[in-house]
Amino acid sequence: MSAPQPIHLHDYQLPAYRVTHTELKFDLSPSATRVVARLHLERHSERQEDNLPLVLNGEHLKLLRVAIDGQELGAGEYSVDAETLTIFEVPQRFLLDTEVEIAPESNTALEGLYLSNGMFCTQCEAEGFRRITYYPDRPDVMATFSTTVIGDAASLPVLLSNGNPVERGELPNGRHFVTWEDPFPKPCYLFALVAGDLEKVEDRFTTMSGRDVTLQIWVEKENLDKTDHAMASLKRAMKWDEDTYGREYDLDLFMIVAVNDFNMGAMENKGLNIFNSAAVLTHPLTATDAAFQRVEGIVAHEYFHNWSGNRVTCRDWFQLSLKEGFTVFRDQSFSADTNSAPVKRIEDVSFFRTAQFAEDAGPTAHPVRPDHYIEISNFYTLTIYEKGAEVVRMLRNLLGWEAFRKGTDLYFSRFDGQAVTIEDFVGCMHEVSGQDLSQFMSWYSQAGTPEIDANGHYDYAKSEYHLTLRQRTPATPDQHEKLPLHIPIRLGLVGTKSGDDLEMTLDGETLGKDAVIHLREEEQNFVFTGIAEAPVPSLLRGFSAPVKLRFPYGREDLAFLLQHDSDGFNRWDAGQRLAMLALDDLIAAHRNGVEKVMDVRVVDAFRTLLTAKVDDKAVLAEMLTLPSEAYIAEQQPVVDVDAIHAARTFVKQSLAVALRDEFMAVYGDHQSDVSYAPEPGQIADRALKNVALSYLMSIEDEEAVALTQQQFEADHNMTDVRAALTLLTHSSRSDLADPALKAFGEKWAHDSLVMDQWFSIQVTRPQPDVLERLKFLMQHPAFSLKNPNKVRALIGTFASQNRVNFHRIDGEGYQLLADVVIELNKLNPEIAARIITPLTRWQRFDETRQALMKAELERIRAEELSPNVYEVVEKALAA
Ligand code: TRP
Ligand code: ZN
């Protein structure tokens, strides 16, 4: 087999043929589904060169018939290979009829048409439609669709597709059919079909122009009591998009379907969103606050795609962030408006700085708009999604909300029904604002995380504050030379006497107390005049750009900002920086075998936090949370997982010993038995209470142990139960862990999503026997390598979150992951290529671990690989 070849952005060509209308007929059967397609095709007006054959994509299809304008084609008129159907001569405008057979039951890749728990469903993004029928499977071919679904009436009572149902009826042999029509032209990646024994909950929404929309959530019968939150979230999202972006829903029906086997979170198919059941189902007794918030965010995300993605779509897959970055920005804003804005920002940024920074620093680093790929499904990444969202956020901040909104209005109206590029989007922003965004475009083309070194000093004599900023973006695998970026830096100068933000004047211009300065050069000096007292600078407020910013803060400075910064985000960040300084010392002490000593300034800062009356409890809970081991690792030149774990545990235990009574008081003050609601006040109280309990349990305080057991047994809501079960399971005492795990596992054996949590909690235990437990759990009846949620819960969680044990020095953690990748490579290449990520980060570790990790990557490379795994492994080993 020859090595898969990359596709390049600069090779883009307009499609030779357009499809104006697509008619599909599915005759469903698990082993032999028949797909009859009639495509209304015409030559593209700008592709008029001679002798252009019609080349259609198609994989894993058995071709039964092909005809043009009703005339069946003979052997010499077309050719078929593993990836294409080519018809040598076609008219300017014609009808193409094909019939193929496919086997949903043997589709374990979960791309195209497959079976999940007896239910037929589809996943077509990015290139799954070519596993359904022969088609120009590219997003710039947009057609209206008419789809007839035929199935067994008894086992498949519900037959769904995009758009509106226009006809239904009985057929011989106990079969029935429904015909659906989608009047909005769409690329085939937005096609969807669902058939199964499903039940629905229904609601209504009246749009801003008074149109009545039916909302349906389709689930397996036993999950009917888990849809309330998704439905409420959907209605909030619909209203928010009208109020915020002026975007109204366009069909009479909007459906969500929950499926158990799904590669990602959810999919925005037109009028028929398909969701991983984990991303839609909630119940107070089965889902945590975090899960409720995740569901709200994903429901909104997929709904928002109806405009940012569906009505206006991507010209090609290099533009993926055009829809994903923008839509993530939209869902983040929605969640911020619906819940606590500062906490949402803290959560998003702390995730971003851990996971996206790591991606940017690793062998698979790529720009927000990549310029080549082998397998597009490897590019549904943190860079495309989250960094893409940060870039849109910077645009919003550069233009201000009003101009940005004018820009989105222009974008949606000008490009409605079209497949466009990132230039088209940024072009609208330029047009409405007149701002020069040419330097800004490098954010889309340049990979890697910019690093800013900041320095400042206060000139008493002149009452001036001098700030120097120097930027540098480190080389990434495909890009050695980097250009300086246009980086907006929001800042304030906090007076050390007053504790207030000082009025800032720059080059004679009054900026106010909180302002944005623009770094465009490699190095720039900023002189703020009229600064009456020595300030501590509060830089990059709200994380105004996706960069690493260093400033030589002393610990007193950070303790000061932690108390006085007017920006909630930077107050939190000051605490994180302060903790990091202490952690750095302790990591060094651990490595040098020196006795660890706790920094009293951190203890004092925490005491102040715990005892002062902080009104935003959700932010307080975040402030009391130490940087994760993964985040700490990101800050180290060579990652020492054991030293990081030891240092972080030491800080946690020291704080618990020193502030035992304060933590106990916080726990007591926030314990409550009001009935569960996923609302911000309650969520904050639970977060705060459970963070306090986790400190107390780190020293296995007897009273805390009793409280944790009580909280577990009270079984009030999953947030509290899961927090308690995690603390009991992660304690050193098997007399606490074992009975609780057993009770929980038996109680929830019937609930797959709860069992996922049960798996995750066990494989994040710090105890050294966890790898053996993981192997044992892989034999558990509830586990299956074919179900992506199970693979993520057990293996993904272990490899990414149990750092000390995954990186065991005997290499057994690596070996286990490689074994799983080799199996999954055959079953589900998309998941295989994702789950491998921790192994690709070998460069960050010591030589012994590097060698062990590389040996496993080599072992994987020796297999016959899917393009997905091939691309990732090649990059990882080339680094
Ligand atoms: N467009 C989906 C989203 O972000 C992503 C998605 C869902 C996806 N399923 C997929 C991407 C399968 C690739 C493969 O909302
Ligand atoms: Zn999306």
Q: Which atom of ligand 1 is nearest to the CA of 110?
A: 12
Q: Are 103 and 32 in contact (CB under 8 A)?
A: yes
Q: Which atom of ligand 1 is nearest to the CA of 309?
A: 1
Rg of the chain, C-alpha, whole Å? 28
Whether 267 is in the pocket of ligand 1, judged by its Cβ within 6 Å, is: yes
Written as six digits, the tokens of 43 are 């030559």
| β-strand pairing of 212-219 with 62-68 | unpaired
Terminal CA-CA length for the chain: 24
Least distant ligand from the CA of 112: 1
Q: In what order do the strands lie in the sheet with 143-152?
A: 71-72, 62-68, 93-102, 33-43, 17-27, 143-152, 175-186, 164-171
Query: In terms of C-beta density within 10 A (0-12 exposed, 13-18 middle, 19 or more buried), how is residue 13 classed?
Result: exposed
Q: How many C-beta atoms surround the C-beta of residue 843 within 10 A?
A: 15
Q: Are 188 and 214 in contact (CB under 8 A)?
A: no
Q: Are 77 and 50 in contact (CB under 8 A)?
A: no
- State the helix-helix crossing angle for 718-730 and 289-304, rounded to 10 degrees: 120
**Taking the mean position of all CA atoms in its chain, how far away is CA 780?**
28
| 730 three-class SS | helix
Residues in contact with 498: Cβ distance below 8 Å, sequence separation at least 6, in sequence order: 533
Q: What is the pLDDT of residue 2?
A: 75
Q: Phi and psi dihedrals of 179, rounded to 5? A: -110, 130
Q: Are 39 and 18 in contact (CB under 8 A)?
A: no
CA of 264 relative to ligand 2 center, distance in Å = 10
Ligand 1: residue of 130, 267, 324 to mutate (most ligand atoms within 8 A of CB) is 267
Which residue has a Cα nearest atom 15 of ligand 1?
267
Q: Which atom of ligand 1 is nearest to the CA of 126?
A: 13
Q: Are 627 and 579 in contact (CB under 8 A)?
A: yes
Could you give the CA distance from residue 687 to residue 500 in angstroms, rounded to a whole number? 29
Ligand 1: residue of 110, 114, 124, 125 to mutate (most ligand atoms within 8 A of CB) is 125
SS3 string, 131-178, reads HCCCECCCCCCCEEEEEEEEEECCCCCEEEECCEEEEEEEECCCEEEE
Q: What is the pLDDT of residue 835?
A: 98
Which residue has a Cα nearest atom 5 of ligand 1?
267
CA of 359 relative to ligand 1 center, distance in Å = 19
CA of 38 relative to ligand 1 center, distance in Å = 27
Query: In terms of C-beta density within 10 A (0-12 exposed, 13-18 middle, 19 or more buried), how is residue 742 classed?
Result: exposed
- Per-residue pLDDT reduced to its tens digit, 301-338: 999 999 999 999 999 999 999 999 999 999 999 999 99
Q: Are 715 and 721 in contact (CB under 8 A)?
A: yes
Q: What is the pLDDT of residue 613?
A: 77
Least distant ligand from the CA of 125: 1
The DSSP result for 35-54, as a single string, is EEEEEEEEE-TT---SS--E
DSSP E strands, 449-532: 451-459, 464-472, 487-495, 504-506, 509-512, 515-519, 523-529
Q: In what order do the strands lie in the sheet with 487-495?
A: 515-519, 487-495, 535-539
Q: What is the pLDDT of residue 103?
A: 98
Whether 263 is in the pocket of ligand 1, judged by its Cβ within 6 Å, is: yes
Quick one: which of 364, 876, 344 has its CA closest to 356?
364
Q: Are 234 and 271 in contact (CB under 8 A)?
A: no
Q: Which atom of ligand 1 is nearest to the CA of 301?
A: 15
Which residue has a Cα nearest atom 14 of ligand 1?
125
- Per-residue pLDDT reduced to its tens digit, 607-661: 999 998 778 899 999 999 999 999 999 999 999 999 999 999 999 999 999 999 9
Q: Are 649 and 587 in contact (CB under 8 A)?
A: no
Query: In terms of C-beta density within 10 A (0-12 exposed, 13-18 middle, 19 or more buried), how is residue 351 classed?
Result: middle
Q: What is the pLDDT of residue 332?
A: 98
CA of 139 relative to ligand 1 center, distance in Å = 14
| β-strand pairing of 313-314 with 535-539 | unpaired
Quick one: which of 609, 608, 621 has its CA closest to 680?
621
Whether 261 is in the pocket of ligand 1, judged by its Cβ within 6 Å, is: no
Whether 125 is in the pocket of ligand 1, judged by its Cβ within 6 Å, is: yes
Q: Which CA distances in Å does 561 have to 570, 575, 599?
A: 8, 8, 17
Q: Which atom of ligand 1 is nearest to the CA of 302?
A: 15
Least distant ligand from the CA of 322: 2
Whether 192 is in the pocket of ligand 1, judged by its Cβ within 6 Å, is: no
List of the chain residues with pLDDT < 70? 1
**DSSP assignment, residue 675?**
P
Whether 302 is in the pocket of ligand 1, judged by its Cβ within 6 Å, is: yes
Which residue has a Cα nearest atom 3 of ligand 1?
267
Q: Which atom of ligand 1 is nearest to the CA of 305?
A: 15
| β-strand pairing of 464-472 with 112-116 | unpaired
Residues in contact with 104: Cβ distance below 8 Å, sequence separation at least 6, in sequence order: 28, 30, 33, 113, 114, 115, 120
Out of 23, 268, 296, 302, pick the active-site residue: 302
**DSSP assignment, residue 319?**
G
Whether 276 is in the pocket of ligand 1, judged by its Cβ within 6 Å, is: no
| 472 three-class SS | strand
Whether 377 is in the pocket of ligand 1, judged by its Cβ within 6 Å, is: yes
The amino acid at residue 30 is P
Which residue has a Cα nearest atom 1 of ligand 1?
267
Instruction: Name the strand (E) or helix (H) holding 558.
Output: helix 555-564
Average pLDDT in the chain? 98
Ligand 1: residue of 307, 380, 866 to mutate (most ligand atoms within 8 A of CB) is 380
Q: Which CA distances in Å does 444 have to 8, 439, 664?
A: 16, 10, 48
Tell me whether residue 49 is one of the annotated catalytic residues. no
CA of 868 relative to ligand 2 center, distance in Å = 20
Whether 381 is in the pocket of ligand 1, judged by its Cβ within 6 Å, is: no
Catalogue all structural domains in the chain, each as residue range(s) with its CATH number.
7-197 (2.60.40.1730), 312-445 (1.10.390.10), 451-545 (2.60.40.1840)
* Whole-structure pTM value: 0.98
Q: What is the pLDDT of residue 775?
A: 98
Whether 299 is in the pocket of ligand 1, judged by its Cβ within 6 Å, is: no
| Dihedral sign for Cα atoms in the order 694, 618, 760, 808 | negative
| 120 three-class SS | strand
Instruction: Name the strand (E) or helix (H) holding 100.
Output: strand 93-102
Whether 195 is in the pocket of ligand 1, judged by its Cβ within 6 Å, is: no
CA of 124 relative to ligand 2 center, distance in Å = 13
Q: What is the dihedral of CA 607, 610, 611, 616, to 10 degrees?
A: 140
Could you give the CA distance from residue 16 to residue 136 in angstroms, rounded to a whole number? 10
Q: What is the dihedral of CA 160, 161, 165, 169, to 10 degrees?
A: -50
Residues in contact with 123: Cβ distance below 8 Å, sequence separation at least 6, in sequence order: 110, 111, 112, 114, 262, 263, 267, 274
Residues in contact with 663: Cβ distance below 8 Å, sequence separation at least 6, in sequence order: 610, 656, 692, 693, 695, 696
Q: Which atom of ligand 1 is nearest to the CA of 830?
A: 14
The DSSP result for 808-875, as a single string, is -TTSHHHHHHHHHHHHHHHH-HHHHHHHTHHHHTGGGS-HHHHHHHHHHHHHHHTS---HHHHHHHHH
Q: Are 195 and 160 in contact (CB under 8 A)?
A: yes
Q: What is the pLDDT of residue 1?
A: 57
CA of 299 relative to ligand 2 center, distance in Å = 10
Least distant ligand from the CA of 190: 1
Whether 268 is in the pocket of ligand 1, judged by its Cβ within 6 Å, is: yes
CA of 302 relative to ligand 1 center, distance in Å = 10
Q: What is the largest CA-CA distance in the chain?
A: 95
- State the helix-helix crossing angle for 680-698 and 718-730, rounded to 10 degrees: 10
Q: What is the pLDDT of residue 614?
A: 79
Written as six digits, the tokens of 442 are 């490098």
